[in-house]
Chains A and B, each alone.
Chain A
Amino acid sequence: MAAVTQDTAIRTGRITRTFIYLVLVLFALFYLLPLYVMVANSLKPLGEITGGNMMALPGTWTIEPWLAAWSTAQIGVEPTGLKPYFLNSILMVVPAVAISTVLGALNGYVLTKWRFPGDNILFGLMLFSCFIPFQIVLIPMATILGKMGLAGSIPGLVLVHVVYGIGFTTLYYRNYYAAFPTELVRAAMIDGAGFFRIFWRILLPVSGPITVVSVIWQFTNIWNDFLFGASFGGQSQPMTVALNNLVQSSTGVKEYNVHFAGAILAALPTLLVYVVAGRYFVRGLMAGSVKG
């Protein structure tokens, strides 16, 4: 009796599993379809796209569209390609991610290990910044950037993104450090370590997972931001704004192959970050909740 039941269980298990995998593969293919279209069309001459099938593989393989998108395509009025804007984005993203992550870590450290009256209210107010829509702050932000003399510059964009990111990074690090035993901090105090030494020698070495989360989150958000870039970029617009200017240009022939190549170029850095650190991303998101 028992053997029969077990046998049936295994068989139904196998059938169900085959079905589940089939559905999953189908969904995966469906989600990969846009990527396929972009890659395939970025590698064909323009004639093949306008004259034929979007779904077909390139008849003649070419990397011309990529080179054009990178260095010669018309962005607005200048035929510079996306290259200078890519550099702008890097110059904006790297300091903005670094500064907001470091400040978030310090905030989290203070809010959990150096508690003071009203700390929870302060944390609540910082969290509030995560829920403010970008559009609301555009005008006051412009005023402040103007008064600081940072309008239309990369440092201005860095400042804007640091201010916006600090709520998230503080949330991450605060929750992560809340699960970190306070006795360790007390032990280090008795051992004679000061505020920054405890942070540097005791907390930071075990903050790997949450730092990955913070960096990926901040990098993706700042890299992909369009509104702040378009509003405050001025002469130093980031990649996203340039891509828009490339794709939305209303004069001349629409060079779809170049547009596809440019869009992939704009998405590559965030893709790269996910591929390299994505494994740790999930692990870091879970870490704070499971420990404790």
Chain B
Amino acid sequence: MGFLDISNVTKTYGNVEVLHRVDISVQEGEFLVLVGPSGCGKSTLLNMIAGLEGITSGDISINGRVVNGVHPSKRNIAMVFQSYALYPNMTVAQNMTFGLEMHGVPKPERDKALADVAKLLQIENLLDRKPGQLSGGQRQRVAMGRALVRDPDVFLFDEPLSNLDAKLRVDMRTEIKRLHENLKTTIVYVTHDQIEAMTLSTRIAVMYQGYVQQLGTPKEIYDKPANVYVATFMGSPAMNVVKAKVAMREGAPHALVTGHDGTDHALRFSQDNLAEWDGREILLGIRPEAITDPDGADRNSNNIVPITNRIEVIEPSGADTFVTMKLGGRDVIARMRADADVATGRDFTFAVNMEKAVAFDPATELRIQP
């Protein structure tokens, strides 16, 4: 039993099932991020936790109490909306204390809670303004303040940063993270941005087509993706997934992938269990940062395989240079140091860190467990 338990929850609209038997258990103080593309059901799940949408079957319990059918205001939750949903006719102070007022908290207590939160978020000078007079970042703070004032069991965030410009988004992300580390609150956070998911969460649920594809810590999700979908959704640029054939060389399993000119390159696996797949096709997953120039390769890795291949495209991004080449008939992106000596159309020796490589079953697209 966790602090927030979602057990066997489904949601159907008419005959369409949009959430299929979701099971997630969140411990007190955890930061769970629900991440996935539009229409994957993440916002629906959040609204069900909030009580804004009904539960078709299954149970949601908060702090040991099943809340199916309990009114949103009686679940002891607070929510931060994508549009902030600040009441336009009220001042910041009235916005933040509206919930307390509705719950019958006496004025002196309301004022104290307001003062504490305003100080925490550094919005004391904004309290008398109307939402229309605030900038995007300030509105965001007020929306969080309104949630914090309630001191709820669970905070729900519905894509709170998606309306901010790129720079402000990064700043607010850090701020939310700091807030969580200081207050140790339980948070469920919905986003479609996998970077937000990685940076903020203590655990991530990757959702797609109404299923939780994988539930785990950011590191588990990133290094051991459950399937091809999770592997390619998390990380930017996406993980390279190419067709490969397993072959035994010198007693160890190797992945054979074809280069730009049709010759096979043999990449030795670090996982010995892939010997069972000798002679069969697999999907080989390698993250861009695991393919580098030889000088930039990970020194702690025991399995760096050099391969020579033709450079097709070079994309400098300032901090890194992304290099595209062809492996197994697909474009494969490698992440080089900014000053790597590369040129379009030249043959280049790439260093592939096979310790970080993963293999997927091409039939089920599930990761082959080591």
Contacts and interface: CB of A to CB of B under 8 A. Distances in A.
Interface string A170-187: 000000000001011011
A118 interface: no
A184 B102 contact: no
B162 to A, nearest CB: 13
B282 to A, nearest CB: 46
Interface string B72-98: 111001110111011111000000001
A186 B81 contact: yes
A58 B72 CA distance: 72
B99 A184 contact: no
A205 B132 CA distance: 15
A253 interface: no
Interface string B169-180: 000000000000
Contacts of B71: 189
Contacts of B70: none
Interface stretch (A97-105, A138-146, A191-199, A211-219): A191-199
A197 B81 CA distance: 20
A193 B87 CA distance: 13
A192 B73 contact: yes
Which of A181, A187, A197, A201 lies at the interface centre, i.e. has the most chain B CB atoms within 10 A of its CB?
Answer: A187
B98 A190 contact: no
A66 to B, nearest CB: 44
Contacts of A197: 102
Interface string B88-126: 110000000011001100000000000000000000000
Contacts, number: 57
A114 B251 CA distance: 68
Contacts of B89: 202, 205-206
Contacts of B83: 181, 183
Interface residues of B, number: 23
Contact of A187 (B51, B74, B85, B103): B85
Nearest to A190: B72
Interface string B4-18: 000000000000000
B87 A190 contact: no
Interface in B165-190: none
A202 B102 CA distance: 13
Contacts of B50: 186, 190
Contact of B52 (A186, A192, A201, A206): A186
A183 B102 contact: no
B85 A192 contact: no
Nearest to A205: B89
A34 B87 CA distance: 48
A160 interface: no
Contact of B79 (A181, A187, A192): A187
Given A189-B73, A192-B73, A192-B102, A184 B87 contact: yes
B98 A183 contact: no
A193 B90 CA distance: 15
B88 A191 contact: no
Contact of B99 (A181, A186, A192): A192
B81 A183 contact: yes
A188 interface: yes
Nearest to A202: B87
A187 B52 contact: no
Contact of A189 (B72, B86, B87): B72
Contact of B85 (A181, A205, A206): A181
Contact of A192 (B86, B88, B103): B103
Nearest to B99: A191
A193 B99 CA distance: 8
A188 B77 contact: no
A188 B98 contact: yes
A194 to B, nearest CB: 8
Contacts of B81: 183, 186-187
A284 B321 CA distance: 55
B85 A186 contact: yes
A117 to B, nearest CB: 11
Nearest to B152: A190
A190 B88 contact: no
Given A187-B81, A193-B73, A201-B87, 13 more contacts: A186-B72, A186-B81, A186-B85, A188-B98, A189-B71, A189-B72, A190-B50, A190-B79, A191-B98, A191-B146, A192-B102, A193-B102, A202-B89
The 3 closest A-B pairs by CB, nearest first: A192-B73, A192-B102, A191-B99
9 contacts: A181-B83, A181-B85, A183-B82, A183-B85, A184-B88, A186-B79, A188-B98, A190-B99, A193-B98
